[in-house]
Amino acid sequence: MALAGNAAADQIAAVDEKYRQAIDVAVDKGLVFLAKSQLRNGSYPEKHTAIASLCTMAYLAKGYTPVGSPYSDNITRGVDFVLACQKNGVLGSGMYNHNISTLLLSEISGMMDPKRRKKVQIALAKALQVTLAAQAVPKAEKFKGGWRYSNTSTDSDMSQSGWGMMALRSAYNNGAGVPKEAVDEAIKYILRSRNADGGFGYQPGGGSGVARTGIGLLCLELSGHHRDKMAISAGKFINSRKVLSGWRGELNYYAFYYTAQSMFQLGGDYWDGFAPRLYDALLKLQAPDGSWKPTGSSHEDKMPCYRTAMAVLALCVSYRQLPIYQRE
């Protein structure tokens, strides 16, 4: 069962009354789709550890637990698949898979049964060393503190660095021995990608975009910059991109996820104004089978479980069930 009691009720009450029932129905359908799609070894048709990790976090985001819930088996098999893929500390292949899976292990480590918890903690410690070593690879000044596609890359980008930052911040919050200096260095890189319009680019000097600004804003919010001038200007940039017909060609699930989480962290009128647009867009995109439809973003079009997991994670931010969703 999902988490019950007054705490869960208070969290769910934070969702706008107009959308609460529709979100619950959509998320439940999405989770059924994911559960039916999961393969015997705990992976999903897209195969990657990142996809298994995102799908597993989707169950957690609605409040389902690894023990005693209808999705316990799906959750534990997903975690077991990620653990089985670790080699030389790396969870899967490439830093997308690795950092997203590291985030999962950090978020779930305290929820597992004692036997799996020990396995998760051992794997997490190794994974964090990989993330920290990849950040510390010698790089040009403008790329220092970030991450790129490989753990030996000598440059950095906003997309990879968002996941790296979230993994470190989650582990730091959980007392996993992450040096504060590593989080600080990641923020310095993020800020080098900030532009005068308040938005963030893919790399320092690049043009601003909605998804990248969502990443930048989230990193600021999670690292002591809650509602400061830089965070507010990023929130204004995200809200300024709205048009009646959509998100000006930036309609994709990566953008949904990061803007949902970052605008929720920013809170207040920024979230209240943003949430209805997010909900309206996502609820319209759900297919009859519970999955979420492609938006024309090529890298997402052939990954229904990825789309569905990201949509569920975006819809569930105000439930605050995942530790990383807690407001600072």
Summarize pLDDT for 163-182 with one digit per residue, the tens: 999 999 999 988 888 999 99
Closest to 201 measured CA to CA, from 216, 219, 186, 183: 216
**Number of residues written out for the chain:** 328
Class of the domain covering 6-325: mainly alpha
Instruction: List the alpha helices (DSSP H) in the chain.
Output: 6-13, 20-37, 49-61, 72-84, 94-108, 114-135, 158-173, 180-192, 210-221, 229-240, 253-266, 268-285, 298-301, 304-315
Contact between 135 and 186 under an 8 Å Cβ cutoff? The reply is yes
What residue spans define the domains of the chain? 6-325
Q: What is the DSSP-derived secondary structure letter of residue 207?
A: P
- Two tokens at 221? 């919010």
* Residue 245 pLDDT > 70: no
294: CB partners within 8 A, 6+ apart: 300, 301, 307
For residue 153, the one-letter residue type is S
- Please report the pLDDT score of residue 252 as a whole number: 87
Contact between 151 and 98 under an 8 Å Cβ cutoff? The reply is yes
Q: How confident is the model at residue 6 (pLDDT cuts 50, 70, 90)?
A: very low
For residue 5, the one-letter residue type is G
- Please report the pLDDT score of residue 296 as a whole number: 79
Higher-confidence residue of 293 and 296: namely: 293
CB atoms inside a 10 Å sphere around CB 267: 15
Whole-angstrom Cα Rg for the chain: 18
